Amino acid sequence: MGYRRRPYFVLSGLLGVVPMLFISLKSKMQLVFAILTLTAGNVAVAVADVTVDPCLAQNSITCPSRAADMQSLCALRYSFGGFV
C-alpha cells in the first residue's frame, strides 16, 4: 500500500508508550505484570531499532559519503532515547 515501514514505527511507538504509562501511573503492581510491561517496552525499542536499520542501509547506498554520520546519528538517538 506504499507505507513501507511507517506502520512498524507507529506500532512500536504505541507498544512502547502504553506499557510505560501503566508502569508510571500504577503505584502497586504485581511482579508478573511489571515484567510483562517492561518486556513490551523493550520489544517496542527493538522493533523500532530493527526498522531503522534498513532505512540507514538504504540511505547509505544513496549517499555513501554520509554513511558514518548517519550511523553515529542513529547511535546518538538510541542512547538519548534510552536516557529519556
- Which pLDDT tens digit goes with each residue over 61-71? 888 888 888 88
- pTM, entire model: 0.70
For the chain, the structural domain boundaries read: 6-83
> pLDDT tens digit string along 6-25?
788 888 888 888 988 988 89
Closest of 23, 18, 83, 76 to residue 52, by C-alpha: 76
